[in-house]
């Protein structure tokens, strides 16, 4: 087998393993949990009942073990590929890196998602993350349909002048916003220079005029009252609650009267087993701020920052995207409990 085939085989193996974990192992453990009789009580009672199930250790180990395998396979597959913002650039995409920015310790101390070195520490980290993210989404978001659905169903149609996407990563949440609202100035904000560089390269390749700016989500450096829409996807569970409170304050500072906030993330479902699996996903996937975020009252945090109408609604990435209330259709396989936090600046 050639080297390239070898690397592709490793990626295919991990993807298949993760799919079977989600669509076969998870329903099996779930069945064991239901058969044992769901315990009444708090998370600790649910947790000890789940941990006693025969298949639970396999489920838990495979979740973490396959994630580690994923990064190894992906790093080999992209083998030092380094993004270059100039390649394919149309001259309309801009990249604003800040060499003086000090990354916070809570951000650099963890290999988030178990990606060795995180998404910020090496020039090739973003290329690794780009392929890894496809595998994490089980190959179901290869064309970023999911992010398009967010832009098209969770964001009201309006004539936005300026849109800011916080924690934009390598840009897959930002490009669809520019496509959906081509007249708006669109700005992607992230701490990670490698991600922003790849985001700008990919935007250039697609002919999308977007500003990618290295800054913290709680201190963007943009003018007060200058933003009509502020978004994020898969961002709020990655920051500590104290920083999140600052992010809401920054959003309130940036939003013009009547401006909108739309954050896509996760919420508890009320299904004890499923919610436990999600809380423990935080630990097994090195996402330390996810469990506190799932327990916190984010609408109350948004209100405390001065925003109005704050509430969560569910999001179904397989069909209509944003749903009208915080309730999801039943599904047997493991999947993320996606939800959209909505709020607005008073007019
Ligand atoms: C899971 S990624 C999501 C990327 C993209 N929004 C998406 O949906 O694919 C989270 C991103 O948030 C960034 N991030 C985390 N904390 C941040 C902060 N305080 N300020 C700005 N970006 C941050 C990370 O660097 C990472 O690129």
Examine the pLDDT at 81 and tell me if it is beyond 80.
no
One-character DSSP codes across 161-202: SEEEEES-TTTTTTHHHHHH-TTSEEEEEES-HHHHHHHHHH
105's CB contacts (< 8 A; 6+ apart) are: none
Residue 76 host element (H or E): helix 56-78
Residue nearest to atom 1 of ligand 1 (CA): 234
Mean confidence (pLDDT) of the chain? 93
Question: Which range is least confidently modeled, 37-46, 102-111, 201-210, 307-316?
Answer: 37-46
**pLDDT score of 153:** 97
- Per-residue pLDDT at 342 exceeds 90: yes
Question: Does the beta carbon of 169 sit less than 6 angstroms from any atom of ligand 1?
Answer: yes
Q: Which of 287, 278, 292, 266 is nearest to 114 (CA)?
A: 287
Reported confidence tier of residue 85, pLDDT bands at 50, 70, 90: low
Residue 90: pLDDT over 70 = no
244-263: pLDDT as tens digits: 999 999 999 999 999 999 99
Q: What percent of the chain has pLDDT over 70?
A: 96
- What residue's CA is closest to ligand 1, atom 13? 167
Residue bearing the bigger pLDDT, 12 or 54: 54
Looking at per-residue confidence, does 221 or 318 come out higher? 221
pTM of the model: 0.95
Tell how far the Cα of 302 is from the centroid of ligand 1, in angstroms: 19
For 298: left if phi > 0, alpha if psi spans -120 to 50, otherwise beta; the answer is: alpha
> Is residue 238 within 6 Å of ligand 1 at its C-beta?
yes
CA distance 204 to 174: 13
Q: Give the model's confidence band at 117: pLDDT under 50 very low, under 70 low, under 90 confident, else very high.
A: very high
pLDDT score of 2? 64
Give 198 Cα–ligand 1 centroid separation in angstroms.
14
Among protein residues, the one whose CA lies closest to atom 10 of ligand 1 = 235
- Tell whether ligand 1 has an atom less than 6 A from the beta carbon of residue 113: no
pLDDT of residue 140: 76
pLDDT category at 87 given cuts 50, 70, 90 is very low
Question: Which pLDDT score, from 0 to 100, does residue 214 have?
Answer: 98
Examine the pLDDT at 208 and tell me if it is beyond 50. yes
Q: How many residues does the structure list for the chain?
A: 347
pLDDT category of residue 143 using cuts at 50, 70 and 90: confident
Helix axes 193-205, 125-136, angle to 10 degrees: 80
User: Which residues face 229 on adjacent strands?
Assistant: 163, 260
Confidence of residue 80 (pLDDT cuts 50, 70, 90): low
What is the structure's pLDDT at 88? 42
Mean pLDDT of 154-175: 97
Higher pLDDT, 73 or 256: 256
With 50 as the cut, is the pLDDT of residue 180 above it?
yes
Check residues 184 and 318 and name the one with the higher pLDDT. Answer: 184
Most confident of 120-124, 269-273, 304-308: 304-308
Residue 73 has pLDDT above 90, yes or no: no
Averaged pLDDT for residues 316-343: 95
- Number of other residues whose CB lies within 10 A of the CB of residue 320: 12
Mean pLDDT across the stretch 310-314? 98
The span from the CA of 65 to the CA of 67, in Å, is 5
State the closest ligand 1 atom to the C-alpha of 192, by its place in the atom list counted from 1: 25
Q: SS3 of 139, please?
A: coil
């Amino acid at each position: 087998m050639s080297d390239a085939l070898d690397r592709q085989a490793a990626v295919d193996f991990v993807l298949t393993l993760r799919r079977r974990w989600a669509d076969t192992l998870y329903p099996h453990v779930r069945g064991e949990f239901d058969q044992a009789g769901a315990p009444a009580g708090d998370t600790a009672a649910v947790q000890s009942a789940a941990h006693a199930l025969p298949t639970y250790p396999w489920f838990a180990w495979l979740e973490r073990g396959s994630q580690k395998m994923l990064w190894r396979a992906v790093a080999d597959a992209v083998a030092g590929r380094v993004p270059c913002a100039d390649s394919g650039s149309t001259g309309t995409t801009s990249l604003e890196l800040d060499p003086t920015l000090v990354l916070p310790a809570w951000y650099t101390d963890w290999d988030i998602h178990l990606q060795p070195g995180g998404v910020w520490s090496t020039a090739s980290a973003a290329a690794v993350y780009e392929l890894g993210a496809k595998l994490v989404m089980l190959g179901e978001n290869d064309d970023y349909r999911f992010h398009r659905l967010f832009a098209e169903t969770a964001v009201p149609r309006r004539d936005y002048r300026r849109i800011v996407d916080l924690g934009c990563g390598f840009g897959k949440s930002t490009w669809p916003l520019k496509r959906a609202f081509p007249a708006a100035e669109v700005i992607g904000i992230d701490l990670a220079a490698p991600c922003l560089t790849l985001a700008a390269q990919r935007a250039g390749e697609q002919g999308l005029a977007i500003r990618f700016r290295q800054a913290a989500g709680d201190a963007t450096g943009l003018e007060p009252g200058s933003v009509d829409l502020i978004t994020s996807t898969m961002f709020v569970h990655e920051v500590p609650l104290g920083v999140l409170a600052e992010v809401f304050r920054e959003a309130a500072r940036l939003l013009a009267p009547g401006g909108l906030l739309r954050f896509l993330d996760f919420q508890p479902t009320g299904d004890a087993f499923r919610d436990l699996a999600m809380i423990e996903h935080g630990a097994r996937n090195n996402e330390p701020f996810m469990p506190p975020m799932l327990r916190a009252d984010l609408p109350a945090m948004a209100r405390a920052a001065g925003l109005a109408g704050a509430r969560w609604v569910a999001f179904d990435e397989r069909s209509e995207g944003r749903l009208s209330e915080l309730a999801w259709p039943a599904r047997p396989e493991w999947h993320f409990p996606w939800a959209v936090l909505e709020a607005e600046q008073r007019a």
